[in-house]
Amino acid sequence: MFFHSCTDRVKEKKTEDNLFYDLAFEFRDKEMYDSAFFYFNKAKELFLLQKDSLGAGRCLVNMGIISTRKGDYFGGQEISLNALSHFDKKKEDQYFYIHSNFNNLGIATHNLGNYKDALKFYDSAIKFSRDSLDTRLYLNNKGKTYQVIREYGEALKIYNQILKGASKNRKEYARALTNISLTKWLQDSTYNAVPNYLKALQIREEENDLWGQNSSYSHLSDFYAKKQVDSALIYANKMYDVAIKIKSADDRLAALRKLIKLNPPKVAKEYFQAYQNLNDSLQTARNLAKNQFALIRYETEKHKTDFLKAQAENVKKQNNILRQNFALGILASVMLIGYWLYRKRKKELQQEKELEVKNTEIKYVKKIHDRVANKVYQVMSEVENTSHINKENLMDKLEVLYNISRDISYERELNTEKNYALQLSKMMKSYSSEIIEIFIIGNEEELWEGVSSEAKTEVFYIMQELMTNMRKHSKAESVVTRFSRSNDTINICYLDNGVGMNNAVKKNGLTNTENRIKSIRGTITFDTTAEKEFEIRLSFPFS
With respect to residue 339, please indicate whether it lies within any of the assigned structural domains: no
Cα separation, 17 vs 216, whole angstroms = 46
Cβ partners under 8 Å of residue 22, min gap 6: 12, 14, 15
Task: State the pLDDT at residue 293.
Answer: 65
How sure is the predictor about 413, in pLDDT bands with cuts at 50, 70 and 90? Answer: low
Give the rounded percent of residues in the chain with a pLDDT score beyond 70: 77
Q: Looking at residues 58-77, what average pLDDT do you find?
A: 93
> Helix 132-148 vs helix 115-128: angle between axes, to the nearest 10 degrees?
170
Phi/psi of residue 319, each to 5°? -65, -40
Rounded to whole angstroms, how far apart are CA atoms 299 and 177? 47
CA-to-CA separations, 129 to 103, 118, 122, 153, 170, in angstroms, rounded: 10, 17, 10, 24, 22
pLDDT at 98 over 80: yes
Query: What pLDDT score does 212 carry?
Result: 93
Q: Report whether pLDDT(506) > 70.
A: no
pTM of structure = 0.54
Question: What is the pLDDT at residue 7?
Answer: 47
- Cα 442 to Cα 482: distance, rounded to the nearest angstrom: 6
Q: Is the pLDDT of residue 337 over 50?
A: yes
Cα-to-chain-centroid distance, residue 242 = 52
Residue 197 has pLDDT above 60, yes or no: yes
Give me the pLDDT at residue 360, please: 53
pLDDT band at 504 (very low <50, low <70, confident <90, very high): very low
Q: pLDDT category, 11, cuts 50, 70, 90?
A: very low
Contact 538, 481 (CB under 8 A): no
Q: Which of 89-93, 309-313, 343-347 is predicted with the least confidence, judged by mean pLDDT? A: 309-313
Q: Answer whether 239's CB lies under 8 Å from 258's CB.
A: yes
Percent of the chain with pLDDT over 90: 53
pLDDT for residue 457: 92
Residue 20 domain-assigned (yes or no): yes
Question: In this structure, are 44 and 126 located in the same domain?
Answer: yes
**Residue 532: φ, ψ to 5°:** -125, 45
Q: Summarize the confidence of residues 249-260 as an average pLDDT.
A: 92
Q: 157-185: buried (b, 16+ CB within 10 Å) or exposed (e) per residue?
A: ebbeebbebbeeebbbbbbbbbbbbbbbb
Please report, in angstroms and rounded to a whole number, the separation of the first and last CA atoms in the chain.
68
379 and 432 part of one domain: no
Do 386 and 439 have their domain in common? no
Q: Residues 6 or more apart from 148 whose CB is under 8 A from it?
A: 110, 115
Task: Give the pLDDT confidence score for residue 439 in this predicted structure.
Answer: 96
Are 3 and 142 in the same domain? yes
How many Cα neighbours within 13 Å face the side chain of 67? 32
| Helix (H) or strand (E) run with residue 495 in it | strand 489-496
Q: In CATH, what number is assigned to the domain containing residue 59?
A: 1.25.40.10
Q: How far is 238 from 259, CA to CA, in rounded Å?
A: 11
Kindly state whether residues 11 and 110 are assigned to the same domain.
yes
- Cross-strand partners of 537: 493, 525
Pair 236, 97 in one domain = no
pLDDT tens readout for residues 454-477? 999 999 999 998 998 888 888 889
How would residue 385 be classed by pLDDT, with cut points 50, 70 and 90?
Answer: low
Q: Under a CB-based contact definition with an 8 Å cutoff, are residues 455 and 520 in contact?
A: yes
Contacts 24+ apart (CB under 8 A), 337-340: none
Q: Note the pLDDT tens digit of each residue in 358-384.
A: 665 565 555 565 556 655 655 665 576
- Judge contact between 141 and 3, C-beta under 8 A: yes
Helix, strand or coil, per DSSP, at residue 489: strand
Q: Clarify whether residues 142 and 40 are in a common domain.
A: yes
CB-based contacts of 304, cutoff 8 Å, min separation 6: 45
Task: Mark whether 394 and 434 lie in a shared domain.
Answer: no
Model confidence at 416: pLDDT above 90: no
70 lies in some domain? yes
CA distance 70 to 312: 38
Overall domain count for the chain: 4
- Structural element, H or E, at residue 494: strand 489-496
Helix H, strand E, coil C: the string for 391-404 is: HHHHHHHHHHHHHH
165-187 mean pLDDT: 90
329 domain-assigned: no
Which domain-ending residue is among 413, 429, 455?
413
Between 392-406, 419-433, 448-462, the lowest mean confidence (pLDDT) is in: 392-406
pLDDT for 307: 45
User: Which tens digits make up the pLDDT trace of 19-39?
Assistant: 999 999 999 999 898 899 999
Higher pLDDT, 304 or 388: 388
Judgement on whether residues 11 and 114 belong to the same structural domain of the protein: yes
Q: Specify if 509 maps to a domain.
A: yes
Residue with the larger pLDDT of the pair 490 and 301: 490
If residue 281 lies in a helix (H) or strand (E), which one and from where to where? helix 265-367
DSSP state of 146: H
Residue 172 domain-assigned? no
Kindly tell me if the per-residue pLDDT of 10 is higher than 50. no
Tell me, yes or no, whether 453 and 513 share the same domain: yes
Mean of pLDDT over the chain: 83
Provide the CATH number for the domain around residue 452.
Answer: 3.30.565.10
Which residue range forms the structural domain that includes residue 132? 1-149
Q: Which distant-in-sequence residues (6+ apart) come within 8 Å of 217 by Cβ? A: 201, 235, 236, 238, 239, 242
| 8 Å CB contact between 391 and 427 | no
Tell me, yes or no, whether 378 and 453 share the same domain.
Answer: no
Question: Residue 81 falls within a domain, yes or no?
Answer: yes
Sheet of strand 489-496: strand arrangement: 437-441, 478-486, 489-496, 534-541, 523-527
Last residue of a domain, one of 259, 274, 289: 274
**Predicted confidence (pLDDT) at residue 283 exceeds the cutoff of 70:** yes
Written as one string, the DSSP assignment of 445-485 is: GGGGTT--HHHHHHHHHHHHHHHHHIIIII--SEEEEEEEE
Position 8 scores a pLDDT of 47
Taking only the tens place, the pLDDT of each residue in 101-152 is: 999 999 999 999 999 999 999 999 999 999 989 999 999 999 999 999 999 9
Residue 507 has pLDDT above 80, yes or no: no
Within a domain: residue 108?
yes
Gap between the Cα atoms of 170 and 74, Å rounded: 35
What's residue 510's pLDDT? 73
Same domain, 442 and 497: yes
202 pLDDT exceeds 60? yes
In one-letter notation, the amino acid at residue 147 is: Q
| Among 202, 50, 330, 8, residue whose Cα is nearest residue 20 | 50
User: Of the residues 122, 149, 176, which one is the last residue of a structural domain?
Assistant: 149
